[in-house]
A = this chain, B = another copy of it.
Amino acid sequence: MAKKASVKDVRRRNRALILRHVWLHGPTSRSEVGAATGLSPATVTNVMNELLAEGAVREEGFLDSEGGRRRAIVSVAHDAALVVGADVGETQIAVDVFDLGLNRLASRVYPFKGRRIEVGEARTAITDQVTSMLAELGVDGRRVLGLGLGVPGIVEEDRQVVHAEVVGWHGADFSGFGDHLGIPAYIDNGAKSTTQAEAWYGAARDTDHAVMVLIGEGAGAGIITDGRLYRGSSSSAGEWGHTKISLDGPHCRCGRAGCVETFVGASAVLNQWRGPDETWLGRETEGVDAILTAWRDGDPAARRAIDGLVRHLGLALSNLVNLYNPEKIIVGGWFGDRIAAELLGDLQAAVRAYALDQPGGEVVLVRSQLGPEAAVLGAATLPISQFIESGAGVDRLTTP
Protein backbone atom coordinates (compact mmCIF):
# COMPACT_ATOMS: atom_id res chain seq x y z
CA MET A 1 0.00 0.00 0.00
CA ALA A 2 0.96 3.62 0.18
CA LYS A 3 3.89 4.75 2.26
CA LYS A 4 4.10 7.50 4.82
CA ALA A 5 5.60 10.80 3.83
CA SER A 6 7.99 13.05 5.67
CA VAL A 7 9.61 16.37 4.91
CA LYS A 8 12.68 14.66 3.48
CA ASP A 9 10.53 13.03 0.83
CA VAL A 10 9.54 16.46 -0.34
CA ARG A 11 13.12 17.33 -1.05
CA ARG A 12 13.83 14.01 -2.69
CA ARG A 13 10.89 14.42 -4.99
CA ASN A 14 11.65 18.00 -5.92
CA ARG A 15 15.28 17.16 -6.51
CA ALA A 16 14.17 14.42 -8.87
CA LEU A 17 11.78 16.81 -10.58
CA ILE A 18 14.48 19.38 -11.20
CA LEU A 19 17.10 16.85 -12.19
CA ARG A 20 14.73 15.20 -14.64
CA HIS A 21 14.01 18.49 -16.30
CA VAL A 22 17.69 19.32 -16.70
CA TRP A 23 18.29 15.84 -18.07
CA LEU A 24 15.46 15.64 -20.54
CA HIS A 25 15.00 19.27 -21.50
CA GLY A 26 18.42 20.67 -20.77
CA PRO A 27 20.56 22.64 -21.22
CA THR A 28 18.23 25.06 -19.52
CA SER A 29 18.11 27.88 -17.01
CA ARG A 30 16.94 28.17 -13.43
CA SER A 31 13.95 30.29 -14.32
CA GLU A 32 12.82 27.82 -16.97
CA VAL A 33 13.13 24.98 -14.48
CA GLY A 34 10.98 26.99 -12.10
CA ALA A 35 8.32 27.54 -14.73
CA ALA A 36 8.32 23.90 -15.82
CA THR A 37 8.17 22.41 -12.36
CA GLY A 38 6.03 24.98 -10.62
CA LEU A 39 8.60 25.39 -7.89
CA SER A 40 9.46 28.79 -6.53
CA PRO A 41 12.68 30.47 -7.71
CA ALA A 42 14.01 30.21 -4.19
CA THR A 43 13.67 26.46 -4.14
CA VAL A 44 15.17 26.08 -7.58
CA THR A 45 18.23 28.02 -6.53
CA ASN A 46 18.52 26.07 -3.34
CA VAL A 47 18.25 22.64 -4.94
CA MET A 48 20.39 23.62 -7.91
CA ASN A 49 23.19 24.65 -5.59
CA GLU A 50 23.13 21.21 -4.02
CA LEU A 51 23.22 19.52 -7.40
CA LEU A 52 26.07 21.75 -8.55
CA ALA A 53 28.06 21.02 -5.43
CA GLU A 54 27.54 17.29 -5.86
CA GLY A 55 28.63 17.44 -9.48
CA ALA A 56 25.39 16.18 -11.00
CA VAL A 57 24.82 19.31 -13.04
CA ARG A 58 27.10 22.05 -14.28
CA GLU A 59 26.92 25.74 -15.12
CA GLU A 60 28.27 26.60 -18.52
CA GLY A 61 27.90 30.08 -19.95
CA PHE A 62 24.86 32.26 -20.29
CA LEU A 63 21.90 32.73 -22.54
CA ASP A 64 21.50 36.11 -24.23
CA SER A 65 19.69 38.65 -22.20
CA GLU A 66 15.99 39.21 -22.80
CA GLY A 67 16.10 42.71 -21.46
CA GLY A 68 17.41 41.89 -18.01
CA ARG A 69 19.95 39.77 -16.26
CA ARG A 70 21.31 36.90 -18.38
CA ARG A 71 20.12 33.39 -17.60
CA ALA A 72 22.84 31.05 -16.51
CA ILE A 73 22.88 27.79 -18.46
CA VAL A 74 22.75 24.61 -16.43
CA SER A 75 23.19 21.22 -18.00
CA VAL A 76 24.01 17.64 -17.15
CA ALA A 77 27.62 17.13 -16.08
CA HIS A 78 28.30 14.82 -18.99
CA ASP A 79 31.68 13.56 -17.90
CA ALA A 80 30.97 13.22 -14.20
CA ALA A 81 30.46 9.49 -14.68
CA LEU A 82 29.77 6.77 -17.22
CA VAL A 83 26.89 4.39 -17.75
CA VAL A 84 26.88 1.04 -19.48
CA GLY A 85 23.96 -0.36 -21.44
CA ALA A 86 23.72 -4.00 -22.47
CA ASP A 87 20.93 -5.57 -24.46
CA VAL A 88 20.37 -9.27 -24.95
CA GLY A 89 18.57 -9.36 -28.28
CA GLU A 90 17.35 -12.17 -30.50
CA THR A 91 20.65 -12.66 -32.34
CA GLN A 92 23.28 -10.73 -30.41
CA ILE A 93 24.30 -9.05 -27.21
CA ALA A 94 25.14 -5.39 -27.66
CA VAL A 95 27.12 -3.49 -25.04
CA ASP A 96 27.75 0.24 -25.18
CA VAL A 97 29.46 2.69 -22.85
CA PHE A 98 28.00 6.17 -22.60
CA ASP A 99 28.74 9.35 -20.73
CA LEU A 100 25.97 10.88 -18.64
CA GLY A 101 24.72 12.82 -21.66
CA LEU A 102 24.23 9.43 -23.33
CA ASN A 103 26.91 10.08 -25.91
CA ARG A 104 28.31 6.76 -27.06
CA LEU A 105 31.97 6.33 -26.08
CA ALA A 106 32.45 2.68 -27.02
CA SER A 107 30.44 -0.13 -28.57
CA ARG A 108 30.73 -3.91 -28.78
CA VAL A 109 28.63 -6.71 -30.17
CA TYR A 110 28.60 -10.40 -29.26
CA PRO A 111 26.71 -12.31 -31.96
CA PHE A 112 24.96 -15.66 -31.54
CA LYS A 113 22.87 -15.80 -34.66
CA GLY A 114 20.90 -18.94 -35.33
CA ARG A 115 21.12 -20.44 -31.86
CA ARG A 116 20.00 -19.89 -28.30
CA ILE A 117 22.27 -18.35 -25.73
CA GLU A 118 22.58 -19.80 -22.23
CA VAL A 119 22.36 -17.61 -19.17
CA GLY A 120 25.93 -18.33 -18.11
CA GLU A 121 27.30 -17.48 -21.52
CA ALA A 122 25.37 -14.22 -21.56
CA ARG A 123 26.65 -13.26 -18.12
CA THR A 124 30.24 -14.03 -19.05
CA ALA A 125 30.04 -12.30 -22.41
CA ILE A 126 28.69 -9.10 -20.89
CA THR A 127 31.18 -9.10 -18.03
CA ASP A 128 34.10 -9.64 -20.41
CA GLN A 129 33.00 -6.94 -22.79
CA VAL A 130 32.48 -4.39 -20.05
CA THR A 131 35.84 -5.19 -18.49
CA SER A 132 37.74 -4.83 -21.73
CA MET A 133 35.88 -1.71 -22.82
CA LEU A 134 36.55 0.04 -19.56
CA ALA A 135 40.20 -1.00 -19.75
CA GLU A 136 40.43 0.40 -23.25
CA LEU A 137 38.89 3.66 -22.14
CA GLY A 138 41.21 3.70 -19.15
CA VAL A 139 38.34 4.02 -16.73
CA ASP A 140 37.89 2.54 -13.29
CA GLY A 141 34.65 0.69 -12.51
CA ARG A 142 34.02 3.10 -9.67
CA ARG A 143 33.49 5.88 -12.18
CA VAL A 144 30.57 3.98 -13.69
CA LEU A 145 27.19 5.06 -12.38
CA GLY A 146 25.62 1.75 -13.26
CA LEU A 147 25.10 -1.05 -15.71
CA GLY A 148 21.69 -1.41 -17.30
CA LEU A 149 20.70 -4.76 -18.69
CA GLY A 150 17.82 -5.39 -21.07
CA VAL A 151 16.80 -9.04 -21.37
CA PRO A 152 13.96 -10.98 -22.97
CA GLY A 153 11.14 -12.29 -20.82
CA ILE A 154 9.77 -11.36 -17.46
CA VAL A 155 12.03 -9.81 -14.85
CA GLU A 156 11.15 -10.10 -11.19
CA GLU A 157 12.25 -6.70 -10.09
CA ASP A 158 13.37 -7.22 -6.50
CA ARG A 159 14.82 -10.71 -6.91
CA GLN A 160 16.50 -9.96 -10.25
CA VAL A 161 15.28 -13.26 -11.63
CA VAL A 162 14.42 -13.66 -15.30
CA HIS A 163 11.76 -15.91 -16.79
CA ALA A 164 12.03 -16.14 -20.55
CA GLU A 165 10.31 -19.30 -21.66
CA VAL A 166 10.87 -18.63 -25.33
CA VAL A 167 14.66 -18.62 -25.01
CA GLY A 168 14.78 -21.33 -22.37
CA TRP A 169 15.58 -19.15 -19.36
CA HIS A 170 13.59 -20.48 -16.43
CA GLY A 171 14.22 -18.52 -13.29
CA ALA A 172 17.63 -17.32 -14.48
CA ASP A 173 19.33 -15.61 -11.56
CA PHE A 174 20.98 -12.26 -12.17
CA SER A 175 21.24 -11.16 -8.57
CA GLY A 176 24.71 -10.06 -7.65
CA PHE A 177 25.48 -9.34 -11.29
CA GLY A 178 27.93 -6.46 -11.52
CA ASP A 179 29.23 -7.05 -7.99
CA HIS A 180 32.67 -8.24 -8.98
CA LEU A 181 32.83 -5.46 -11.58
CA GLY A 182 32.16 -3.06 -8.74
CA ILE A 183 29.26 -1.60 -10.69
CA PRO A 184 25.63 -1.48 -9.58
CA ALA A 185 23.55 -3.46 -12.05
CA TYR A 186 19.93 -2.83 -13.00
CA ILE A 187 17.96 -5.29 -15.04
CA ASP A 188 14.69 -5.04 -16.87
CA ASN A 189 12.77 -6.51 -19.74
CA GLY A 190 14.24 -5.33 -23.04
CA ALA A 191 10.96 -4.12 -24.45
CA LYS A 192 10.45 -1.99 -21.35
CA SER A 193 13.88 -0.41 -21.42
CA THR A 194 13.59 0.24 -25.15
CA THR A 195 10.28 1.91 -24.50
CA GLN A 196 11.95 4.06 -21.87
CA ALA A 197 14.45 5.24 -24.50
CA GLU A 198 11.68 6.22 -26.92
CA ALA A 199 9.89 7.95 -24.07
CA TRP A 200 12.92 10.03 -23.18
CA TYR A 201 14.47 10.73 -26.55
CA GLY A 202 12.24 9.36 -29.29
CA ALA A 203 8.70 9.11 -30.54
CA ALA A 204 7.08 9.16 -27.10
CA ARG A 205 8.76 12.34 -25.85
CA ASP A 206 6.48 14.37 -23.65
CA THR A 207 3.71 11.85 -24.06
CA ASP A 208 2.01 10.85 -20.84
CA HIS A 209 0.31 7.71 -22.07
CA ALA A 210 1.86 5.59 -24.78
CA VAL A 211 2.34 1.98 -25.75
CA MET A 212 5.37 0.78 -27.65
CA VAL A 213 5.36 -2.56 -29.41
CA LEU A 214 8.55 -4.26 -30.52
CA ILE A 215 8.18 -6.79 -33.27
CA GLY A 216 10.94 -9.03 -34.55
CA GLU A 217 10.84 -12.80 -34.34
CA GLY A 218 8.83 -12.33 -31.20
CA ALA A 219 6.72 -9.46 -29.96
CA GLY A 220 6.98 -7.40 -26.79
CA ALA A 221 5.49 -4.21 -25.45
CA GLY A 222 6.22 -1.41 -23.04
CA ILE A 223 3.57 0.78 -21.49
CA ILE A 224 3.98 4.39 -20.45
CA THR A 225 1.39 5.65 -17.98
CA ASP A 226 1.53 9.15 -16.55
CA GLY A 227 4.91 9.60 -18.19
CA ARG A 228 6.37 6.56 -16.50
CA LEU A 229 6.93 2.94 -17.33
CA TYR A 230 4.13 0.75 -16.02
CA ARG A 231 5.48 -2.41 -14.47
CA GLY A 232 2.60 -4.07 -12.67
CA SER A 233 3.01 -6.25 -9.65
CA SER A 234 6.17 -8.07 -10.65
CA SER A 235 7.15 -6.34 -13.85
CA SER A 236 5.30 -8.75 -16.10
CA ALA A 237 2.87 -6.07 -17.22
CA GLY A 238 2.95 -5.80 -20.96
CA GLU A 239 3.71 -9.41 -21.90
CA TRP A 240 1.71 -8.78 -24.98
CA GLY A 241 3.51 -11.17 -27.30
CA HIS A 242 1.96 -14.14 -25.57
CA THR A 243 -1.51 -12.83 -25.10
CA LYS A 244 -3.79 -14.88 -27.28
CA ILE A 245 -6.04 -13.80 -30.09
CA SER A 246 -7.22 -17.27 -31.07
CA LEU A 247 -8.09 -20.48 -29.30
CA ASP A 248 -6.44 -22.70 -31.83
CA GLY A 249 -3.96 -20.73 -33.83
CA PRO A 250 -0.46 -21.76 -34.84
CA HIS A 251 1.86 -23.37 -32.34
CA CYS A 252 4.07 -20.94 -30.42
CA ARG A 253 7.62 -21.41 -29.13
CA CYS A 254 6.24 -20.78 -25.63
CA GLY A 255 4.47 -24.14 -25.95
CA ARG A 256 0.98 -22.75 -26.35
CA ALA A 257 -1.10 -21.69 -29.29
CA GLY A 258 -2.76 -18.56 -30.61
CA CYS A 259 -0.17 -16.10 -29.25
CA VAL A 260 0.16 -12.70 -30.91
CA GLU A 261 3.73 -13.63 -31.80
CA THR A 262 2.58 -16.46 -33.99
CA PHE A 263 0.61 -14.05 -36.13
CA VAL A 264 2.79 -10.98 -36.30
CA GLY A 265 6.35 -12.26 -35.82
CA ALA A 266 8.63 -12.07 -38.84
CA SER A 267 8.92 -15.75 -39.67
CA ALA A 268 5.24 -16.29 -38.91
CA VAL A 269 4.44 -13.88 -41.71
CA LEU A 270 7.03 -15.42 -44.00
CA ASN A 271 5.57 -18.85 -43.39
CA GLN A 272 2.14 -17.52 -44.25
CA TRP A 273 3.57 -16.38 -47.52
CA ARG A 274 5.62 -19.34 -48.70
CA GLY A 275 4.36 -22.12 -46.48
CA PRO A 276 6.15 -23.83 -43.61
CA ASP A 277 8.41 -25.89 -45.88
CA GLU A 278 10.70 -23.06 -46.79
CA THR A 279 12.95 -22.22 -43.84
CA TRP A 280 14.03 -18.64 -43.23
CA LEU A 281 16.36 -19.35 -40.36
CA GLY A 282 19.28 -16.97 -40.44
CA ARG A 283 17.98 -14.94 -43.37
CA GLU A 284 14.81 -13.42 -41.99
CA THR A 285 15.70 -9.90 -43.05
CA GLU A 286 16.14 -10.96 -46.67
CA GLY A 287 12.84 -12.76 -46.45
CA VAL A 288 11.11 -9.64 -45.22
CA ASP A 289 12.63 -7.60 -48.03
CA ALA A 290 11.41 -10.21 -50.45
CA ILE A 291 7.85 -10.36 -49.22
CA LEU A 292 7.53 -6.60 -49.18
CA THR A 293 8.81 -6.40 -52.74
CA ALA A 294 6.41 -9.13 -53.79
CA TRP A 295 3.60 -7.33 -52.01
CA ARG A 296 4.32 -4.10 -53.83
CA ASP A 297 4.41 -6.03 -57.08
CA GLY A 298 0.98 -7.41 -56.40
CA ASP A 299 1.90 -11.03 -55.74
CA PRO A 300 -1.34 -12.62 -54.51
CA ALA A 301 0.26 -14.81 -51.84
CA ALA A 302 2.19 -11.83 -50.46
CA ARG A 303 -1.00 -9.76 -50.50
CA ARG A 304 -2.78 -12.43 -48.50
CA ALA A 305 0.04 -12.72 -46.00
CA ILE A 306 0.43 -8.97 -45.51
CA ASP A 307 -3.30 -8.51 -45.35
CA GLY A 308 -3.47 -11.14 -42.63
CA LEU A 309 -0.65 -9.41 -40.76
CA VAL A 310 -2.43 -6.07 -40.84
CA ARG A 311 -5.65 -7.60 -39.59
CA HIS A 312 -4.09 -9.64 -36.81
CA LEU A 313 -1.73 -6.90 -35.71
CA GLY A 314 -4.51 -4.34 -35.85
CA LEU A 315 -6.61 -6.57 -33.66
CA ALA A 316 -3.83 -7.25 -31.19
CA LEU A 317 -3.05 -3.55 -30.94
CA SER A 318 -6.72 -2.69 -30.50
CA ASN A 319 -6.73 -4.87 -27.40
CA LEU A 320 -3.94 -2.74 -25.97
CA VAL A 321 -5.89 0.36 -26.90
CA ASN A 322 -9.01 -0.88 -25.12
CA LEU A 323 -7.00 -1.88 -22.06
CA TYR A 324 -4.58 1.05 -21.74
CA ASN A 325 -6.11 3.89 -23.79
CA PRO A 326 -2.81 5.38 -24.95
CA GLU A 327 -2.41 8.61 -26.91
CA LYS A 328 0.19 6.98 -29.11
CA ILE A 329 1.29 3.56 -30.23
CA ILE A 330 4.91 3.38 -31.29
CA VAL A 331 5.73 0.55 -33.64
CA GLY A 332 9.33 -0.65 -33.44
CA GLY A 333 11.60 -3.65 -33.50
CA TRP A 334 13.47 -4.60 -36.65
CA PHE A 335 10.44 -6.14 -38.31
CA GLY A 336 7.95 -3.72 -36.82
CA ASP A 337 9.95 -0.83 -38.15
CA ARG A 338 9.80 -2.18 -41.71
CA ILE A 339 6.11 -2.83 -41.48
CA ALA A 340 5.52 0.62 -40.09
CA ALA A 341 7.47 2.19 -42.93
CA GLU A 342 5.08 0.68 -45.47
CA LEU A 343 1.82 -0.01 -43.70
CA LEU A 344 1.30 2.53 -40.96
CA GLY A 345 -1.86 3.93 -42.51
CA ASP A 346 -3.42 0.51 -42.99
CA LEU A 347 -2.54 -0.45 -39.44
CA GLN A 348 -4.02 2.73 -38.06
CA ALA A 349 -7.24 2.01 -39.95
CA ALA A 350 -7.33 -1.55 -38.65
CA VAL A 351 -6.81 -0.42 -35.06
CA ARG A 352 -9.60 2.15 -35.42
CA ALA A 353 -11.88 -0.52 -36.82
CA TYR A 354 -11.29 -3.01 -34.02
CA ALA A 355 -10.98 -0.75 -30.97
CA LEU A 356 -13.86 0.91 -29.17
CA ASP A 357 -14.73 4.31 -30.67
CA GLN A 358 -13.60 6.47 -27.82
CA PRO A 359 -10.10 5.15 -27.16
CA GLY A 360 -9.67 4.10 -30.79
CA GLY A 361 -10.50 7.49 -32.21
CA GLU A 362 -7.85 9.22 -30.16
CA VAL A 363 -4.89 6.94 -30.64
CA VAL A 364 -2.21 7.69 -33.21
CA LEU A 365 0.23 5.15 -34.61
CA VAL A 366 3.79 6.28 -35.20
CA ARG A 367 7.03 4.68 -36.23
CA SER A 368 9.84 4.38 -33.71
CA GLN A 369 12.43 7.14 -34.02
CA LEU A 370 15.52 5.66 -32.50
CA GLY A 371 15.68 2.48 -34.54
CA PRO A 372 18.00 -0.37 -33.58
CA GLU A 373 19.96 1.86 -31.21
CA ALA A 374 17.00 2.16 -28.89
CA ALA A 375 17.57 -1.17 -27.16
CA VAL A 376 21.06 -0.46 -25.80
CA LEU A 377 20.24 3.16 -25.17
CA GLY A 378 17.20 2.04 -23.24
CA ALA A 379 19.28 -0.31 -21.13
CA ALA A 380 21.57 2.60 -20.29
CA THR A 381 18.61 4.65 -19.13
CA LEU A 382 18.01 2.16 -16.32
CA PRO A 383 20.82 3.39 -14.05
CA ILE A 384 20.12 6.98 -15.03
CA SER A 385 16.45 6.63 -14.29
CA GLN A 386 17.33 5.16 -10.93
CA PHE A 387 19.78 8.00 -10.33
CA ILE A 388 17.20 10.65 -11.11
CA GLU A 389 14.26 9.15 -9.26
CA SER A 390 16.31 8.56 -6.14
CA GLY A 391 17.10 12.27 -6.15
CA ALA A 392 20.71 11.72 -7.19
CA GLY A 393 21.98 10.67 -3.82
CA VAL A 394 25.07 8.90 -5.12
CA ASP A 395 28.76 9.41 -4.49
CA ARG A 396 29.94 7.95 -7.77
CA LEU A 397 30.26 11.34 -9.42
CA THR A 398 33.68 12.89 -9.84
CA THR A 399 33.27 16.27 -8.23
CA PRO A 400 35.34 18.76 -10.21
Q: Which residues of A contact B (CB under 8 A)?
A: 1-7, 9-10, 13-14, 16-17, 20, 37-39, 154, 156, 163, 165, 170, 208-209, 225-227, 232-240, 242-247, 254, 256, 258, 311-312, 315, 318-319, 322-327, 353-354, 356-359
CA distance A226 to B157 in the complex (A): 15
Q: Is there an interface contact between B246 and A247, defined as CB atoms closer than 8 Å?
A: yes
Given A3-B38, A226-B1: A244 and B14 interface contact (C-beta under 8 Å): no
CA distance A5 to B11 in the complex (A): 8
Instruction: Point out the residue from B10, B163, B237, B326 that lies within 8 Å of A323, measured CB to CB.
Output: B237
Q: Is there an interface contact between B1 and A6, defined as CB atoms closer than 8 Å?
A: no
Q: Is there an interface contact between A324 and B237, defined as CB atoms closer than 8 Å?
A: yes
Q: Is there an interface contact between B233 and A327, defined as CB atoms closer than 8 Å?
A: yes
Distance from A253 Cβ to chain B, minimum over Cβ atoms (Å): 12
From A357, which residue of chain B is reached at the shortest CB distance? B165
From A171, which residue of chain B is reached at the shortest CB distance? B358
Instruction: Point out the residue from B245, B258, B322 that lies within 8 Å of A239, measured CB to CB.
Output: B322
Given contacts A3-B38, A236-B356, 12 further A-B contacts (CB under 8 A): A4-B37, A4-B39, A154-B359, A165-B356, A232-B323, A233-B326, A236-B325, A237-B323, A239-B359, A243-B322, A244-B245, A319-B319
Chain B residues positioned under 8 Å from A245 (CB to CB)? 244-247
Q: Is there an interface contact between A318 and B244, defined as CB atoms closer than 8 Å?
A: yes
Q: Is there an interface contact between A5 and B9, defined as CB atoms closer than 8 Å?
A: yes
Distance from A314 Cβ to chain B, minimum over Cβ atoms (Å): 10
Chain B residues positioned under 8 Å from A353 (CB to CB)? 256
Instruction: Point out the residue from B208, B226, B235, B315 that lies within 8 Å of A244, measured CB to CB.
Output: B315
Distance from A210 Cβ to chain B, minimum over Cβ atoms (Å): 9
Q: Is there an interface contact between B7 and A244, defined as CB atoms closer than 8 Å?
A: no
CA distance A237 to B311 in the complex (A): 23
CA distance A239 to B256 in the complex (A): 25
Q: Is there an interface contact between B254 and A356, defined as CB atoms closer than 8 Å?
A: yes
Q: Is there an interface contact between B325 and A234, defined as CB atoms closer than 8 Å?
A: yes
Q: Is there an interface contact between A4 and B14, defined as CB atoms closer than 8 Å?
A: yes
Pick the 5 closest A-B CB pairs, nearest first.
Answer: A209-B233, A236-B325, A163-B358, A243-B319, A239-B322
CA distance A211 to B71 in the complex (A): 51
Considering residues A156, A165, A323, which has the most beta carbons from chain B within 10 angstroms of its beta carbon?
A323
Q: Is there an interface contact between A13 and B17, defined as CB atoms closer than 8 Å?
A: no
Q: Is there an interface contact between B323 and A238, defined as CB atoms closer than 8 Å?
A: yes
Q: Is there an interface contact between A154 and B358, defined as CB atoms closer than 8 Å?
A: yes
Instruction: Point out the residue from B13, B239, B323 that lies within 8 Å of A243, measured CB to CB.
Output: B323
Instruction: Point out the residue from B10, B37, B208 that lies within 8 Å of A10, measured CB to CB.
Output: B10
Chain B residues positioned under 8 Å from A247 (CB to CB)? 245-246, 311-312, 315
8 A-B pairs whose Cβ atoms sit less than 8 Å apart in the complex:
A3-B38, A4-B14, A4-B37, A4-B39, A237-B325, A240-B322, A243-B318, A245-B245
Chain B residues positioned under 8 Å from A356 (CB to CB)? 154, 163, 165, 236, 239, 242, 254
Given A227-B1, A236-B356: A258 and B315 interface contact (C-beta under 8 Å): yes
CA distance A219 to B240 in the complex (A): 21
